[in-house]
Amino acid sequence: MTLLTVRGLGKSFGGVKAVDGIDFDLKAGELLALIGPNGAGKSTTFNMVNGQLKADRGSIKMNGTELIGLAPRAIWRLGVGRCFQIAETFSSLTVIENVQMALLSHDNQLFSFFKPASSHARDKALELLSQVGMQEQADRPCSELAYSDVKRVELAIALANEPKLLLMDEPTAGMAPKERNDMMAMTKRLVIERGIAVLFTEHSMDVVFAYADRISVLARGRLIAHGTPDSIREDRNVQEVYFGG
Ligand code: ADP
Ligand code: MG
């Protein structure tokens, strides 16, 4: 079942065509990697899908609903999640408090977080934390966590909104190879278990080839190749862009 349909999507900054008329589809239960050299237009594409940037042209439909023109919050409400970085303010809260806040926010009940002895959504938060392998660290302040564990908490926070589509712009940036693989293996498991779709970018080709179901390759705002990891590996255009031919 096709969840997201992107057609003729474009965005310019001044004279620069950051994204120049791209098409792609995303199905539920699928991991699509959007790859390409720096400046190819990956982040611009992500930001148009989540509504942070307004597209100049084209369409982005989720289950038939046009997303272009909707506010980021409306798009988030429709089930487009992304991994927000835990802000400074929230890093003094514990791991589970951050997830509880996200759950309350999803239910429009954020005000009750500060009620006395708030145990709201604790069980549900623990369940989400166990899905990202962080249940043991539930009561530690986020400020004490290793970087890769913060990324896991951010993923649990994103899941609290019950996304249908999760956007992950360089989710493993700054991680060691083992942590990258752990993060992507966990993401893959969540995609399968929850039937959500993930659009992600990633610099390590090994990780992309190991975890993506399909790959779309951007270069200078245009899609130059699209297909399974095997077909992309053999693609002449991609080899030129990445390895100079
Ligand atoms: P990627 O994420 O693939 O590295 P980006 O989407 O960030 O690429 O950038 C694509 C192009 O658009 C680049 O040439 C970049 O300099 C330009 N660009 C991105 N954001 C802006 C902006 N806010 N203002 C001006 N130019 C931008
Ligand atoms: Mg980027």
List the single range of 9-13, 118-122, 135-139 with lowest mean pLDDT.
118-122
**pLDDT score, position 88:** 64
Give residue ranges with CB within 6 A of ligand 1. 13, 16, 18, 36, 38-44
Please tell me the CATH superfamily of domain 1-77+167-173+196-245, with its number: P-loop containing nucleotide triphosphate hydrolases (3.40.50.300)
CA 218, 71, 150, 29 torsion-angle sign: negative
The two tokens of residue 91 are 């890093």
What integer best gives the mean pLDDT of the chain? 91
Q: What is the DSSP string of 84-128?
A: PPPPGGGTTSBHHHHHHHHHHHHTT-GGGGGSTT--TTHHHHHHH
Asked if residue 134 has pLDDT above 60, the reply is yes
- Residue 144 has φ and ψ, to the nearest 5°, of -90, -5
Asked if residue 142 has pLDDT above 90, the reply is yes
Probe residue for ligand 1, chosen from 9, 11, 12, 16 as the CB with the greatest number of ligand atoms within 8 Å = 16
What atom of ligand 1 comes closest to residue 37's alpha carbon? 3
Probe residue for ligand 1, chosen from 9, 13, 46, 47 as the CB with the greatest number of ligand atoms within 8 Å = 13
**pLDDT score, position 119:** 67
Confidence of residue 107 (pLDDT cuts 50, 70, 90): confident
Asked if residue 56 has pLDDT above 70, the reply is yes
The two tokens of residue 191 are 């995609």
pLDDT digits (tens, 9 = 90+) for 57-104: 999 999 999 999 999 999 999 999 988 777 666 788 999 999 998 998
The DSSP bridge pattern shows strands 197-200 and 80-82 to be unpaired
Protein fold of 80-162: Rossmann fold (3.40.50)
Probe residue for ligand 1, chosen from 34, 44, 49, 54 as the CB with the greatest number of ligand atoms within 8 Å = 44
pLDDT digits (tens, 9 = 90+) for 88-98: 667 889 999 99
What atom of ligand 1 comes closest to residue 40's alpha carbon? 3
- Output 151 or 116, whichever has higher pLDDT: 151
- Domain chopping of the chain, boundaries: 1-77+167-173+196-245, 80-162
Confidence of residue 241 (pLDDT cuts 50, 70, 90): confident
3-state secondary structure of 29: coil
Residue 58, CA atoms < 13 Å, CB-side half-sphere: 22
Question: Which H or E run includes 217?
Answer: strand 214-219
**pLDDT score, position 16:** 96
Cα 176 to middle of ligand 1, angstroms: 26
pLDDT digits (tens, 9 = 90+) for 24-42: 999 999 999 999 999 999 9
